[in-house]
């Protein structure tokens, strides 16, 4: 084989090899960037959900504090309940994004938070209805039940935090 042809063939093989390596590296970089982008979107969704839960929980505490009074101020209770309801809607909106972003096991943990929140809200609604009716016969029982439901809700939010950290690749 003539040396010019060998040099040309060597250059062609080198070019094909370089092109192949560039394609492989480009694809690996694209996968890495997509994984980082996906992780960031999930992190934003989870942080938004936790932030909405936090705001809603502060409003929930205000409602429960108002209900614990011997004679709740009903206009104050209505105002605090309205704020709680508004923030609860924000939690549901944020939960939809968590469910969309996934993964499925994390969405299941978010559903447990929703269930625990609903259980507590049910007790709060009953307590508010009783306060409006001036009926204090179940107040002590409902106050204790609300405290237990708050503990369950808090544990489910802790579980969500751990699952979210795991889903975005955080350390234990």
pTM > 0.85: no
**Does residue 131 contact residue 67 with C-beta atoms inside 8 Å?**
yes
- DSSP state string for 139-171: HHHHHHHHHHHHHHHHHHHHHHHHHHHHHTT--
Give yes or no for residue 172 having a pLDDT over 60: no
The C-alpha angle 22, 26, 29, rounded to 5 degrees, equals 140
Give yes or no for residue 100 having a pLDDT over 60: yes
CATH class of 45-167: mainly alpha
Give the domain ranges of the chain: 45-167
Residues present in the chain in total: 172
Residue 48 has φ and ψ, to the nearest 5°, of -65, -40
- DSSP state string for 37-87: HHHHHHHHHHHHHHHHHHHHHHHHHHHHHHHHSSS--HHHHHHHHHHHHHH
* CA proximity to 128, closest of 116, 118, 114, 138: 138
Give yes or no for residue 56 having a pLDDT over 90: yes
3-state secondary structure of 82: helix
**Does residue 19 contact residue 47 with C-beta atoms inside 8 Å?**
no
Average pLDDT of the chain is 87
Give yes or no for residue 138 having a pLDDT over 90: yes
Q: At what angle do helices 139-167 and 3-68 cross, to 10 degrees?
A: 170
Residue 1: predicted pLDDT = 61
Q: How far apart are CA 79 and CA 127, in angstroms?
A: 15
Give yes or no for residue 30 having a pLDDT over 60: no
């Amino acid at each position: 084989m003539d040396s010019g042809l060998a040099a040309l063939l060597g250059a062609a093989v080198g070019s094909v090899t370089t092109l192949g390596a560039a394609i492989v590296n480009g694809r690996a970089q694209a996968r890495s960037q997509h994984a980082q982008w996906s992780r960031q979107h999930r992190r934003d969704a989870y942080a938004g959900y936790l932030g909405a839960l936090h705001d809603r929980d502060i409003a929930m505490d205000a409602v429960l504090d108002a209900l614990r009074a011997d004679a709740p101020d009903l206009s104050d209770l209505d105002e605090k309940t309205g704020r709680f309801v508004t923030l609860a809607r924000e939690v549901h909106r944020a939960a939809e994004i968590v469910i969309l972003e996934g993964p499925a096991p994390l969405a299941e943990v978010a559903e447990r938070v929703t269930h625990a929140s609903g259980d507590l809200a049910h007790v709060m609604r009953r307590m508010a209805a009783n306060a409006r009716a001036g009926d204090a016969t179940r107040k002590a029982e409902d106050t204790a039940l609300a405290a237990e439901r708050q503990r369950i809700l808090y544990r489910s939010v802790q579980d969500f935090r751990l699952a979210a950290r795991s889903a975005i690749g955080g350390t234990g």
